[in-house]
A and B are shown apart, each in its own frame.
Chain A
Amino acid sequence: MDTQATPEATELRAVRTTGQGTPGALGAVLPFLVLLAVGVAFPLFGGGYWGVIATRACVYWVLVSGLNLVVGFAGQIAIGWVALLTLGAYATSVLAAGNVMPALPPYLALVCAALVGAVFGLIVGLPALRLRTFYFAITTLGFATIVTQVALAWQSVTGGGIGVPGPVFPEPFASQWGFYYFCLGLAAVCTWMTANIAASRFGRALTAIRDAEVAAEASGIAKPALLAIVFLFSGAVAAVAGGLFAALQSYITPDAFTFDLSVLFFIAILIGGRSSVLGPLLGTILLTVLPEFAAPLVAWSTFLYAALLLVIVLAIPGGIAELLDFRNRRPLESGRAIVPQPRLVARLLDAAPATGALTLDQLGLSFGGVRAIDGLDLEIRPGQVHGLIGPNGSGKTTTLNVISGYYAPQRGAVRLEGAALPPLARHLRAHMRIARTFQTPRIVGSASVLQNVMIGGTIHGHGTFVESLLSLPRHWRDEAMLRETAMLALAAVGLERLAPVRADRLQHAELRFIEIARALMLRPAFLLLDEPAAGLSAEEIVRLSTLLLAIARAGVGVLLVEHHPDLIFDICHHVTVLNLGRKLAAGTPAEIRSHREVVNAYLGG
């Protein structure tokens, strides 16, 4: 069903689904407030023993909140994070006790431990950039073992097997309940900080790296820098947890830091669910408290955690967060139509068009002995749609991949307004206002449609990680700007009604349009599309044509790699035909259609 939407109506709808003070926002904060209230009131009904358990849960959560960003959001399988707890515990204790240098006040020791933790978090985490998943997991395990063994061996500092006393915090935090409130306070602060990151462009960028890495690159997200910050933060926070742990235990030895603890942290996040803060929080509380209900359970606790993990992985990979996601259980309307709105496209793409063309200049690339691209000249002019067609293996997608930086040309160059593009800098293309879509839609399935589109505009945010962490004004301005732009982009492609829906519930065609909306967030000068019509019905192809023509009319240079004759002959201003890496013919669609050789090549003669 076609609905005509005026810009005003769209904006009204946009405001209703976003913004603070709406029921949606309160619903998100409420569970945390309830937990905080329970925590604050806890000493009233909990005894001494349960006080220790509750304090322990708070301390564990301080670590897990940081690790959540690494494991839950960034998807890095860091199993050996107990190493940082160990480091933090020993650093704090040793500095406070004065084994190495004059004793520091406990708060200062804690801060120093955080610095140590940050550095080591980076050291443990950085191999993730280079190693495959399983390899990285194993290295973190190895690291955890090493740290414990060093603690055992370095007797002069750590007391070896005998251990060291933990730090003692001054009043009012020296008593059991005083210390409990201290830990509860820190846990609350960590919850707040990590929730801020989760709802920021950094959190979304992390999930993009995890689930749709190529799309993240194409959106300009630099994986190394982002992961480095996250490892620094996570390491620091884990070390602080270590200091608190040492104070709670009042005396630490190396065998307090068992592999079991690492398992607990890791599993708490996975049981809780990825891309969630509430889920892992509940998971941590659950796993800390569960074994305490029956004495035999304590011995079997790790076995239970592992069994729980197995069940979650096999049955509910989304964890507790998925169970609590009521909103996404509501059925979607069937018979949904995607209705692009050209007027909004023009409003969105109001940035100045490029002054020059994107050209391929005698481009050449071979794989082994095969010439994938052989001396290709091509010009994508702003405001025009340039079609690139050819049989399978002709080099169409390879050409697109060279332009977007996946392969370096061996001969010739890709030039933007005359200057050659740096060959393999995939993530810099976004900064040059070159956007692209992919043959198979690369989407973060567990995120909402709106969040997916907002990922496209990540590099347009100005606030730093710390500003988001502390919820400072620039973070809010960024969020408002990204949200508004994303809603406009969704309205432009015709999907604004689906903004809050989890992306993996959508149909294939809708995912394709979401990719385009995401690309448009960059307000690109050039848009590269890789077979966008594949899997679309005739009706949807017509809508796609409308959209692409509107985009071109707004001044964008569009490169369209396609098979579908409909799309090519209807909307392209120019068509280049490739065969075996070489340009077979080039011209207007009418010229190409009647070109004998082209017909043969295309049909495979």
Chain B
Amino acid sequence: MIESIILSGTAMGCIYALIAVTYNVMFSASRVFSFTAGTLGMLGGVLGALFIARMGMPVALGFIVVLAGGAALGLVTEIVAVRPVLKSLDQHLYVLSTLALALMVQQFTAIEWSTEPQPFPRLFGLARVDFDQQFWLPMLACAVVIVGLELLYRHTLIGHAFLAIAEDNYAARALGLPERGLRMTSYALAGVIGALAGFAGGEMMLAFFANAPLLTFYGFVPVSLGGMGNNRGAVVAGLLLGLFQQTANFLVGGIFASVAVFAVFIIVLLARPDGLVGAAQQRRV
């Protein structure tokens, strides 16, 4: 039993961590949080089921198309919901515009795909074992993304450019960095990460439109606890969240597990509004 809790807790934790990273990548590029992060996760599962199970695409091809779909939604978020409101004086319009976009996508999915959860295809035709692919796929995805992002930020010029824009937007612009292009790329990247999270977690979460609000909330918890823009904090917090949730699930049952998570979340936030770890490196003012 403990084994099952650890496996499912870690796997779900990795999914939450990836959605948190999605939020963070968008935030680093624009200083704004987007409601579409959870929706991207949902689409990863739904599109995966659509292309592979229903349309019969080979797994590898379906995978690529799903990631492309995530990138597309990421780009749409930037162009339609974020860029127009960044210039406005009202700081909080982005909350509404990204919420509106996320709702539109969710509702469209509910109507066109299904209002009931649909099965997600088994990606590798292996027999079910204890340490099953539905558990290690999300873990693998999380590890790949974390390592990949580290490499990107540390060793590539474009990764450095992302860090520059996040740390000091003004200086980066003055230096001539292509701020808009970099922001769009960041959002596309975030889209890929979100879709990957949903795809890897598809078997665990099923292809269900209501995963969107679920992931919107649970994916945000690691962001707020781990510190805005702080990916490492997000992963740690995500794993802890996943384990806590599965443990509570086992001990007190599903409904009260949610209440427990929510209560802890609120209490921690009220005590430390900047998260347990604190925000990522900010420019000293």
Interface residue stretch chosen among A49-57, A131-139, A181-189:
A131-139
- Given contacts A145-B258, A317-B90, A317-B93, whether A306 and B269 have CB atoms under 8 Å apart is no
Q: In angstroms, how far is the closest chain A Cβ from the Cβ of B41? A: 15
Cβ of A130 under 8 Å from chain B: yes
B83-131 with Cβ < 8 A to chain A: 84-85, 88-93, 95-97, 99-101, 103-104, 107-108, 111
Please tell me which stretch of B52-60, B162-170, B259-267 contacts chain A, meaning at least 4 of its Cβ atoms lie within 8 angstroms of it.
B259-267
The answer, yes or no, to whether A310 is at the interface (CB within 8 Å) is yes
Q: What residues on B are CB-neighbors of A309 within 8 Å?
A: 96, 99-100, 103
Taking A133-B95, A300-B111 as contacts, is the C-beta distance between A139 and B269 under 8 angstroms? Answer: yes
User: When the two chains form their complex, are residues B107 and A306 in contact, meaning their CB atoms are under 8 A apart?
Assistant: yes
- B250: CB under 8 A from chain A? no
Query: A176 near B: Cβ within 8 Å?
Result: no
Interface-lining segment among A21-29, A149-157, A358-366: A149-157
The answer to whether A79 has its CB under 8 Å from any CB of chain B is yes
A130-B273 contact in complex given A150-B259, A310-B100, A310-B104, C-beta closer than 8 Å: yes
Contact in complex: B213, A303 (CB < 8 Å): no
User: By the criterion CB–CB under 8 Å, are B262 and A138 in contact?
Assistant: no
Least distance between A579 CB and chain B CB atoms (Å)? 21
Q: With contacts A142-B262, A306-B104 known, is A152 near B255, CB below 8 A?
A: yes
Residues of A within 8 A of B89 (CB): 445
| Alpha-carbon distance A79/B102, docked complex (angstroms) | 14
Bound state CA distance, A152 and B88, in angstroms? 42
Question: Inside 8 A of B253's CB, which chain A residues have their CB?
Answer: 153
Q: Does A103 contact B (CB under 8 A)?
A: no
- Contact string, A257-278, partner B, CB cutoff 8 A, digits 1/0? 0010001000000100000000
- Of B42-50, B185-193, B216-224, the segment with at least 4 beta carbons within 8 Å of chain A is B216-224
Chain A's interface size range is 35 or more
A221 to chain B, nearest CB (A): 20
Contact of B273 among A135, A263, A270 (CB under 8 A): A135
CB<8 Å pairs between A and B, sample of 21: A75-B92, A127-B270, A130-B270, A135-B273, A138-B217, A139-B266, A141-B217, A142-B262, A145-B217, A146-B258, A149-B258, A263-B103, A302-B107, A303-B107, A306-B100, A307-B104, A309-B96, A313-B93, A314-B84, A314-B97, A317-B88
Q: Which one of B103, B213, B265, B266 has the highest number of Cβ atoms from chain A below 10 Å of its Cβ?
A: B103
Q: Mark B177-218, 1 if CB is under 8 A from A, else 0.
A: 000000000000000000000000000000000000100110
The number of residue pairs between A and B whose CB atoms lie closer than 8 Å in the complex comes to 101
* 4 shortest interchain CB distances as A-B pairs: A306-B103, A310-B100, A153-B255, A303-B107
A contact set with B: CB distance below 8 Å: 75, 77, 79, 127, 130-135, 137-139, 141-143, 145-146, 149-150, 152-153, 259, 263, 270, 299-300, 302-303, 305-307, 309-310, 313-314, 317, 445
Q: What's the minimum C-beta distance from A147 to chain B, rounded to whole angstroms?
A: 10
Cα distance A135–B103 in the bound complex, in angstroms: 18
Check if B17 is an interface residue, CB within 8 A of chain A: no
> Whole-angstrom distance between the alpha carbons of A300 and B33 in the complex?
26
CA distance A503 to B55 in the complex (A): 58
Contact A299 B111 (CB under 8 A): yes
Task: Decide: B111 and A313 in contact? CB cutoff 8 A.
Answer: no
CB proximity of A135 to chain B, nearest CB, Å: 6
Q: How far is the CA of A193 from the CA of B239 in the complex (A)?
A: 48
CA distance A131 to B271 in the complex (A): 10
> A311 to chain B: closest CB distance in Å?
9
Which chain B residue has the least Cβ–Cβ distance from A305? B103
Would you call B248 an interface residue if the criterion is a C-beta within 8 Å of the partner chain's C-beta atoms? no
Residue among B91, B97, B262, B265 making CB contact with A313, cutoff 8 Å: B97
CB of B256 within 8 A of chain A?
yes
Number of B residues, CB within 8 Å of A: 38
A75 CA to B92 CA, complexed, in Å: 9
Q: Which residues of A contact B92 (CB under 8 A)?
A: 75, 77, 133
Interface string of B5-43 (1 = CB under 8 A from A): 000000000000000000000000000010000000000
B95 to chain A, nearest CB (A): 5
Task: Please indicate the chain B residues that have their CB under 8 angstroms from the CB of A131 in the complex.
Answer: 269-270, 273
State the CA gap A329–B148 with chains docked (Å).
54
Question: In the assembled complex, which residues on chain B have CB atoms less than 8 Å from the CB atom of A77?
Answer: 92, 95-96
Minimum Cβ distance to chain B for residue A550 (Å)? 33
Contacts of A137 in B (CB 8 A): 95, 99
Give Cα distance in the complex from A84 to B99, angstroms: 21
Closest to A138 in B: B220
B144 at the interface (CB under 8 A from A): no
> Is the pair A303, B90 in contact by a Cβ cutoff of 8 Å?
no
Report A-chain residues with C-beta under 8 Å of the C-beta of B103.
Answer: 263, 302-303, 305-306, 309
* Residue in contact with A142 in the complex, picked from B93, B97, B217, CB distance below 8 Å: B217
Is there contact, CB below 8 Å, between A141 and B213?
Answer: yes
Contacts of A135 in B (CB 8 A): 224, 269, 273
Q: How far, in angstroms, from A133 to B97 measured CA to CA in the complex?
A: 14
Q: In the complex, what distance in Å separates the CA atom of A133 from the CA atom of B99? A: 13
Q: Tell whether, in the assembled complex, residue A146 and residue B259 are in contact, meaning their CB atoms are under 8 Å apart.
A: yes
Determine how close the nearest CB of chain B comes to the CB of A498; give it in whole angstroms: 21
19 A-B pairs besides A75-B92, A149-B258, A300-B111 with CB distance below 8 A are A127-B269, A133-B92, A135-B224, A135-B273, A138-B220, A139-B269, A141-B217, A142-B217, A142-B266, A149-B259, A152-B255, A153-B253, A303-B107, A303-B111, A307-B100, A309-B99, A309-B100, A310-B97, A317-B93
